[in-house]
Chains A and B, each alone.
Chain A
Amino acid sequence: MNNNSITSDVLVVGGGLVGAAIAWGLLDRGLTVTVLDEGDIALRASRGNFGLVWVQSKGDKMHEYARWTRRSADLWPDFAEHLAEETGISPNYEKPGGLHFILSEEEDRRVRAQHQRMHDVNGERGYGAEMLDRQQLDKLVPGLGPEVISGSYCKHDGHANPLLLLHALHKGLGLRGGRYIPDGRVETLERDGDGFRATTSHGSYLGGRIVLAAGHGNKVLGPMLGLDVPIHPEKGEILVTERVAPLLPMPTHVLRQTNEGTIMIGDSHENTGYSTDSVIPVMSGIAQYAIRCFPALRNLRVVRSWGAVRILSTDGFPVYQQSTDFSGAYTINCHSGVTLAAAHAGPLARMIAEGEFEPEITAFSPRRFDHA
């Protein structure tokens, strides 16, 4: 055994929102946990996202995902409070409900049909989104542009500061006695006795179990443990305005006002590999659409912009997998790591600690693609 080896009950590879939430949850169950992460410069969706805790539209055509998302949104208030109490860092979670603006008859029809499908399976209360006409919208959000004809409102939607969330989880990890290894990019993974060995450029780490939560890194790491991870990159760009007095009472799918007063505007869906470039045609498209929704934005200055890369599976739903060849190895991938953070830290960490997924969660196995 290598002298550098450190042994823990669980190794978590990746310290983004997914790995950090799971590790924080595992530590609450009395397990020793080591998180291996890359350094400051890394492809890390958790540092570039929009911060919505979003229920509406999630899980159309996969109702286990709709329910899982809703479960996380229900857990979020306690999760946020717990994190803030324990670490002194509040993720600034608010749940005023959320809006999706509709600008065309065609989109109105599409969203109404989606609501119908979701209600058919989960019941109106299970999903919780409703259509609002323009008059109802005007009462909720004054100042909408003339092209907005209707909207979809869901009272379970909310938003948080994703950077503070990540910061709080990392602080909580340390406070709960977890070990965090930065600059610990895992190069190889292998079986070692009953457990696993993860080797980085400066040494190797042993764990009884291993959770691959390395975002796009899972695609390379998974196959080393018999896990096929069908994920691909999709870029999204975000613009941030100067700070202004409270203007938007609730988050929407394209803009939200942070509690510091800035307005975040997003987001694009670009097939540009792992590039995180911001490009002017896309930024101006994002800004123009936001102004059509909410014309007062026209007068604001944009002070920051960036691109980040989503981790998308083939059908957009999560990929959670327990290796059959290597018992005790898991891979966790999802497109909405902010939304699902409460479910990851709570029920998912419990399932991993107990070694068994709830039946509903097995729907997220990539085996679903075998039949496609």
Chain B
Amino acid sequence: MPKRIDPDTETVTFTFEGQIIRARPGDTVASALAASGIRHLRDSAVSGEPRGIFCMMGACFDCLVEVNGQPNRQACMTPVSQDLAVSRQRGGVEVKI
């Protein structure tokens, strides 16, 4: 599990699947989840297999999560803020027609 170089600097909290996650200001959702040991961020839309961070720079779209009800957000490109509600992206989004 990744460890922070400077521990005890977490002053922000948000939730992931209802669980409270502590984060540093400036963290992204992905970095805060990684620091909390959470690696399974979504299920593949094709195979249903678990997926998580890969590039950490917005290129691969492997880190998709749902943020405040919005699906398919890149966790590594989403800065944390107090009380964000984040959950796993489960497969492809159903689009209403």
* A interface residues, Cβ below 8 angstroms from B: 142-143, 242-247, 259-261, 295-296, 299-301, 303
Contact A246 B96 (CB under 8 A): no
Known: A260-B45, A260-B46. A244 touches B92 (CB 8 A): yes
* CB–CB B97/A243 < 8 A: no
The residue that B92 contacts in the complex, of A142, A246, A301, A303, with Cβ under 8 A, is A246
- A sample of 13 inter-chain contacts (CB < 8 A) reads A143-B97, A242-B71, A242-B72, A242-B93, A244-B93, A244-B95, A245-B91, A245-B94, A259-B46, A260-B45, A295-B97, A299-B96, A303-B61
Cα distance A151–B8 in the bound complex, in angstroms: 62
| Complex Cα–Cα for A246 and B92 (A) | 8
Q: Is the interface of B mostly helix, strand, loop or mixed?
A: loop
Q: Given A301-B72, A303-B61 in contact, is the A244-B94 Cβ separation under 8 Å? A: yes
Q: Given A260-B46, A261-B46, A303-B61, is A243 in contact with B72 using a C-beta cutoff of 8 Å?
A: yes
- Bound together, the chains give a CA A303 to CA B93 distance in angstroms of 15
Q: Contact mask B62-89 → A, CB, 8 Å, 1/0?
A: 0010000001100000000000000000
Report the separation of the CA atoms of residues A101 and B61 in the bound assembly, to the nearest whole angstrom. Answer: 31
Residues of A within 8 A of B71 (CB): 242
Chain A residues contacting B96 (CB-CB under 8 Å) are 296, 299
Closest Cβ neighbor of A247 among chain B residues:
B95
Q: Is the CB of B95 within 8 A of A261?
A: no
> Bound complex: CA of A296 vs CA of B72, how far in Å?
16
> What size tier do the contact residues of chain B reach?
10 to 19
- Indicate if the CB atoms of A300 and B61 lie closer than 8 Å: no
Which B residues are closer than 8 A to A by beta carbons? 45-46, 61, 64, 71-72, 91-97
In angstroms, Cα B91 to Cα A295, docked, is: 22
Ranked nearest first, the 3 interchain pairs of A and B with the lowest CB-CB distance are A143-B97, A245-B92, A242-B72
For residue A242, which residues in chain B have a CB less than 8 angstroms away from its CB? Answer: 61, 64, 71-72, 93
Across the interface, B95 reaches (CB within 8 A) one of A245, A259, A260, A303, namely A245
Please give, as numbers and ranges, the residues of chain A lying within 8 Å of B61 by CB-CB distance. 242, 303
| Residue from the list B46, B91, B95 in contact with A300, Cβ < 8 A | B95
CB-nearest residue of chain A to B94: A245
Known: A243-B72, A260-B45, A260-B46. A296 touches B93 (CB 8 A): no
Q: Bound state CA distance, A260 and B92, in angstroms?
A: 9
Output the nearest chain B residue to A297 by Cβ-Cβ distance: B95
- In contact, A243 and B95 (Cβ under 8 angstroms): no
Beyond the given A142-B97, A243-B45, A300-B95, could you list 5 further A-B residue pairs with CB under 8 A, ordered by the A residue number? A143-B97, A245-B93, A247-B97, A261-B92, A299-B95
Q: How far is the CA of A109 from the CA of B68 in the complex (A)?
A: 48
| Nearest-CB residue, chain B, relative to A143 | B97
Chain A residue nearest to B71 in the complex (CB): A242
A303 to B61, CA, bound (A): 9
Instruction: Report A351 CB to chain B, min CB distance, Å.
Output: 38
A143-B96 Cα distance, complex, nearest whole Å: 9
B94: A residues at CB distance < 8 A: 244-245
